[in-house]
């Protein structure tokens, strides 16, 4: 998923291409030959905005500014050249969203690429033309959003719900420390919370920050030392600034960064690297890469024991490789699979539920079984005394006959 550095690079690209220009044409139906070609994608264009409403908000408008907060980007528009802002176009890139400019290189992402061999590119959801400049918003996995806002977008969600931006308005160390002291969640989960302390920090940025700070991702916030908190705060600012200065170009990132070694499609287990043995686990609901030999849960504690990668973990990681960077599952992943796999899943769930029943419930379940009526044994004995054939003998005789 595009994180703060990638979104900032997008902001600068859009600003350089469109600032001071007028929207002369827009196409709000999908282009590029995707499965929804020619259709208006009302999932991407959110909140029930219709094609006429989108056209009215954008057509003939002038670009006043292109701004960003965290992973959210918006374009301020004016009805006249150099006039007051009359509304904003808000863009969120989700998992695979991006803005591309015709005739220019597409942004480089670690987990997906955009085919620029034809225009507009495949999965184009919205195309804006500014005279001789064409801009396209593409999103194959459809987790991104295009929203319309008024002249003050920061006053309403989603912008109003965001915490401080590490690049434009960093949270002071004292405020960061005070917030962590009140939180018992893992430090990585806190960094990923866009409304907690910083916005814009995603999965790879959080892993890099904690690696550079020497803090274990699973460390509870309220157990970190003052030194660990200070290093974490400093690295949030440093990693974001360095990555943005490099234009989110991974090849220009410092060679000692964990970033260069974390993309191994693993969700568990471990692997060797020049930085030491990198472990993979799930923290805060996200696949997490860390180096136990260099990252600690609390100041002065020994690092966790090194673990060897298992073949099973490696096989599992290949099946779940998309989780390395993704915030949300794909639509296919979100739906239960049909067929034998689903049936096996039901059996596993049923088995887990059976083993998870508390002792009291198990006792109640046992007691709930129908019991043999009292006197049944005595009745059989009475029949034998009277010379009657017992039931078991009758059944046996019928089968043998």
Q: What is the 3-state secondary structure (H, E, C) of 84-132?
A: CEEEEEEEECCCCCEEEECCCCCCCCCCCCCCCCCCCCCCEEEEEEECC
Examine the residue annotation and report whether 2 is marked as an active-site residue of this protein. Answer: yes
What are the helix (H) ranges across 19-74?
A: 51-58
Residue 53's pLDDT is: 98
Catalytic residue from among 2, 120, 166, 217: 2
Among residues 280, 245, 241, which one has the least CA distance to residue 263?
A: 280
Residue 7 in tokens: 């979104």
Architecture of domain 4-161: Alpha-Beta Barrel (3.20)
Catalytic residue from among 3, 8, 76, 323: 3
Q: Do domains 4-161 and 173-328 have the same CATH topology?
A: no
Residue 1's pLDDT is: 83
User: What's the topology of domain 173-328?
Assistant: Helicase, Ruva Protein; domain 3 (1.10.8)
Work out whether strand 145-149 and strand 269-271 pair parallel, antiparallel, or are unpaired: unpaired
What are the helix (H) ranges across 330-370?
A: 331-334, 340-356, 359-367
Residue 256's pLDDT is: 97
What sign for the dihedral angle of Cα 200, 206, 210, 211? negative
Examine the residue annotation and report whether 71 is marked as an active-site residue of this protein. Answer: yes
Cβ(264)–Cβ(283) under 8 Å?
no
The whole-angstrom separation of Cα 365 and Cα 401 is 40
Q: Kindly list the domain boundaries of the chain, sorted by start residue.
A: 4-161, 173-328
Please report, in tens digits, the pLDDT of each residue of the chain (401 residues total): 899 999 999 999 999 999 999 999 999 999 999 899 999 999 999 999 999 999 999 999 999 999 999 999 999 999 999 999 999 999 999 999 999 999 998 887 766 789 999 999 999 999 999 999 999 999 999 999 999 999 999 999 999 999 999 999 999 999 999 999 999 999 999 999 999 999 999 999 999 999 999 999 999 999 999 999 999 999 999 999 999 999 999 999 999 999 999 987 778 899 999 999 999 999 999 999 999 999 998 765 656 666 555 444 444 434 333 333 334 433 333 333 444 444 444 343 333 333 333 333 333 333 334 444 444 444 444 444 444 444 444 443 434 34
Catalytic residue from among 61, 71, 125, 188: 71
Residue 102 in tokens: 């015709």
CA angle in degrees (0–180, nearest 5) for 17-21-25: 95
Residue 44's pLDDT is: 98
Examine the residue annotation and report whether 153 is marked as an active-site residue of this protein. Answer: no
The whole-angstrom separation of Cα 183 and Cα 170 is 20
Cβ(89)–Cβ(57) under 8 Å?
yes
């Amino acid at each position: 998923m595009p994180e703060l550095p990638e979104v900032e690079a997008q902001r600068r690209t859009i600003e350089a291409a469109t600032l001071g220009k007028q929207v002369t044409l827009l196409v709000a139906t999908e282009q590029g030959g995707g499965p929804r070609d020619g259709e208006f994608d009302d999932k991407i264009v959110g909140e029930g905005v219709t094609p006429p409403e989108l056209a009215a908000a954008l057509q003939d408008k002038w670009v006043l500014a292109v701004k960003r907060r965290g992973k959210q980007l918006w374009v301020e528009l004016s009805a006249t050249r150099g006039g007051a802002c009359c509304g904003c176009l808000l863009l969120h890139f989700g998992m695979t969203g991006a803005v591309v400019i015709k005739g220019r290189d597409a942004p480089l992402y670690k987990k997906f690429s955009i085919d620029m061999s034809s225009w507009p590119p495949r999965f184009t959801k919205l195309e804006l033309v500014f005279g001789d400049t064409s801009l396209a918003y593409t999103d194959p996995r459809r987790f991104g959003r295009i929203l319309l806002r008024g002249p003050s977008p920061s006053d309403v969600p989603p912008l109003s719900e965001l915490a401080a931006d590490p690049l434009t308005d960093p949270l002071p160390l004292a405020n960061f420390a005070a917030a962590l002291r009140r939180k018992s969640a893992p430090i990585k989960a806190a960094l990923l919370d866009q409304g907690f302390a910083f916005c814009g920090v995603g999965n790879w940025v959080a892993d890099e920050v904690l690696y550079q700070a020497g803090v274990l991702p699973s460390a509870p916030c309220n157990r970190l030392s003052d030194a660990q908190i200070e290093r974490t705060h400093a690295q949030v600012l440093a990693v974001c600034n360095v990555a943005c200065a490099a234009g989110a170009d991974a090849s220009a990132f410092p060679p000692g960064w964990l970033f260069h070694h974390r993309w191994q499609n693993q969700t568990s287990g471990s692997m060797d690297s020049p930085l030491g043995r990198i472990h993979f686990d799930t923290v805060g609901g996200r696949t997490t890469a860390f180096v136990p030999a260099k990252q600690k849960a609390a100041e002065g504690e020994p690092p966790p024991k090194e673990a060897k990668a298992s073949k099973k973990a490696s096989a599992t990681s290949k099946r779940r490789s998309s989780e390395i960077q993704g915030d949300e599952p794909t639509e296919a992943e979100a739906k239960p699979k049909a067929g034998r796999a689903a049936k096996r899943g039901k059996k596993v769930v049923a088995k887990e539920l059976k083993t998870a029943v508390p002792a009291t419930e198990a006792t109640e379940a046992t007691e709930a079984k129908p019991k043999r009526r009292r006197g049944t044994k005595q009745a059989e004995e009475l029949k034998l005394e009277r010379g009657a054939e017992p039931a078991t003998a009758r059944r046996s005789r019928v089968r043998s006959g």
